[in-house]
Amino acid sequence: MNRMLITLTLGMVASWSLNIGLLASDVIPFEQFDTITVNVDKDIDNSLDPDYFTIASVEIRNVENDDSVDKSDVSLLQGFGDIVLVVDKLMALGKKIWTVVEAGKPVVNARFKPISVLPYLAESNMSFLKMSNWSIPKTQTYEVIYKNLYGVTMVNFTFMITFQHDGTFKGVGKYLTGVNIIPSNISVAWGYKFDCKSELMAISNMGTMENPVAAATIQLDYTTSTPIKESRSSILFHVIGDGRIIKL
């Protein structure tokens, strides 16, 4: 009997947009790369079942916030880190790129030195000392769901965007501090590996030069890999000094 081979070529991109079983969710575009040659002439156990290891959809949805969640992670006392971006009269302090999830496990240091967008001064710490009117910590929770070709959830990742807003400098402006991505729940099926990193892409002034409204654009990059597939997706969030979060 002739042996049939399906050759899966590196760099071949598959794009899926199925919406399975979730209400009020958005589909996240993603790329999927095949990485090996699979022999389908012989019995294949579940460990190499292409349908099991192929992502069919990636979705994100808002989750109702739990008021019992400990919001100490957005405390103003976490420290500010280095200056990573300067735009006009704004500066971003913290860490430009940080790992949120590695190999399906939350990374503890994702909780340190979150992003602050403050007035630009030669002595960065002096900006904060002259600021007031900060809001209480705000959180918004999201859930990301990966499903395979069987319609089964392979990766379920819940995370919080946390920050404080409305900070004023000498009574003027709306600034940000404590902007962070905190993983709260991760479930990864057998045979799957999940990683997530976060990056500050840009800061901007959505107000005027006299009355600035600070904003930060954060990108989350997801990578899911299996013995025969790898998928990559990204999503952008725009966090604004007046308290809004816009998912782009």
User: How many residues comprise the chain?
Assistant: 248
Burial of 138 (C-beta count, 10 Å sphere; 0-12/13-18/19+): buried
Region of 77 (left: φ > 0; alpha: ψ -120 to 50; beta: rest) is alpha
Q: Which residue has the tokens 């199925």?
A: 18
Report the DSSP beta bridge partners of residue 224: 194, 231
Give the pTM.
Answer: 0.78
The Cβ of residue 70 has, within 10 Å, a number of other Cβ atoms equal to: 8
Q: Residue 215: helix, strand or coil by DSSP?
A: strand
The one-digit pLDDT tens for each residue of the chain (248 residues) are 333 222 232 333 333 333 333 346 788 888 888 776 544 444 445 457 889 999 999 999 998 765 444 554 444 445 566 788 998 889 999 889 988 898 888 876 544 578 999 998 756 555 667 788 999 999 999 999 999 999 999 999 999 999 999 999 989 999 999 999 999 899 999 999 999 999 999 999 999 999 999 999 999 999 999 988 899 999 999 999 999 999 98
What tokens appear for 238 in the block? 């725009």
- Nearest to 95, CA basis, from 108, 87, 78, 83: 83
Sign of dihedral through CA atoms 36, 42, 45, 50?
positive
Q: How far apart are CA 205 and CA 203, in angstroms?
A: 7
- The pLDDT tens digits of the residues spanning 37-71 come to 544 444 445 457 889 999 999 999 998 765 444 55
CA distance 222 to 146: 11
Sign of CA dihedral 74, 217, 183, 27: positive
Q: Are 22 and 61 in contact (CB under 8 A)?
A: yes
Domain ranges of the chain: 5-247
